[in-house]
Amino acid sequence: MSTLLNFDNVTSYYGATRILKDFSFEMQKGECLCVLGRNGVGKTTLMRTIMGLTDKSTGAIRINGTELTGKAPYQRATYGLGYVPQGRGILSDFTVRENILLGTFARADKAPEIPELCLRIFPYLKENLDRRAGLLSGGQKQQLAIARALAVGPQILLLDEPTEGIQPNIVHEIGEILKMLNKELGISLILTEQHIKVARKLGDSFIMVDNGRVVARGPIEDMTDELVERHMTI
């Protein structure tokens, strides 16, 4: 496999405060990388740093060898980054259709139409394109957030706590969809996750984060119960 995303000694700031500190990792094309750790250790900041949404970052961030540091978020999206933020970021007053179409603005081909994939994997959305997004349930909003990110035509799908606050049957359904996107369609995934079972089911590799630093990494089989207890229990 070839290296798709490279983080080299990245430090990321909100104001003058360092959140990520000398953060380094590589991600291979087609991989599912799970980012784990307690709340408040920097997982969301990692996602926002990749997208260029923090106040400042130093170090090098490269996708397919192209340097992203200094590029605006909308420019980064055109390199194939689809982002599902924590809290989903759905525009409640927009329809389902309008929310998904927002993702198409970053497409390389600029096609202003909903990709067939989005409607095929989320039949509820297909049947409710003109429904106001604010009326959807939490699980349906998460489906919509994923569909909007897929409308970018991403190489890498970034998902920040994709199973947070969702009922167990929907967690399973979303897990199966993410697995299909990764293993069958070859879309690389980076997901922050609190559910260890979900991470072990979906992940090929993991990064354990504590206090803004990488404290452990490796193939998902190396994520032992002892490691989880040390860095994730409160």
Amino acid at 177: I
What tens digit of pLDDT does each residue of 25-75 get? 999 999 999 999 999 999 999 999 999 999 999 999 999 999 998 899 988
Percent above pLDDT 90 for the chain: 81
* Per-residue tokens: 46: 């990692």
pLDDT score of 18: 96
Mean of pLDDT values over 133-154:
95
Q: Which residues contact 192 (CB under 8 A, 6 or more apart)?
A: 34, 35, 36, 43, 44, 46, 47, 86, 159, 160, 161
| pTM confidence score | 0.93
Separation between Cα atoms, residue 8 and residue 205, nearest integer Å? 18
* Per-residue tokens: 73: 């978020």
- Tell me how far apart the terminal alpha carbons of the chain are, to the nearest angstrom: 36
Percent above pLDDT 70 for the chain: 99
What tens digit of pLDDT does each residue of 158-180 get? 999 998 888 888 888 999 999 99
Per-chain mean pLDDT for the chain: 93
Asked if pLDDT for residue 21 goes beyond 90, the answer is yes
Separation between Cα atoms, residue 186 and residue 28, nearest integer Å? 11
Q: Which residues contact 140 (CB under 8 A, 6 or more apart)?
A: 124, 125
Mean of pLDDT values over 136-143:
93
CATH value at residue 146: 3.40.50.300
Q: 136: burial class by Cβ within 10 Å (0-12, 13-18, 19+)?
A: buried
Angle at 6 between CA 203 and CA 226, to 5 degrees: 40
Asked if pLDDT for residue 234 goes beyond 70, the answer is no
Strands (E), the chain: 3-14, 17-28, 32-36, 56-63, 66-67, 81-84, 156-160, 188-192, 205-210, 213-219
pLDDT score of 110: 73
Whether the Cβ atoms of residue 73 and residue 53 lie closer than 8 Å to each other: yes
Number of domains in the chain: 1
Instruction: For residue 85, give its domain range.
Output: 3-232
Asked if pLDDT for residue 220 goes beyond 70, the answer is yes
159 phi, psi to nearest 5 deg:
-125, 115
| Number of helices (H), then strands (E), in the chain | 9, 10
DSSP codes joined into one string, 125-158: HHHTTTSBGGGS-HHHHHHHHHHHHHTT--SEEE
Partners of 95 in the β-ladder: 132
What tens digit of pLDDT does each residue of 65-114 get? 999 988 999 889 989 999 999 888 999 999 999 999 999 988 877 778 99
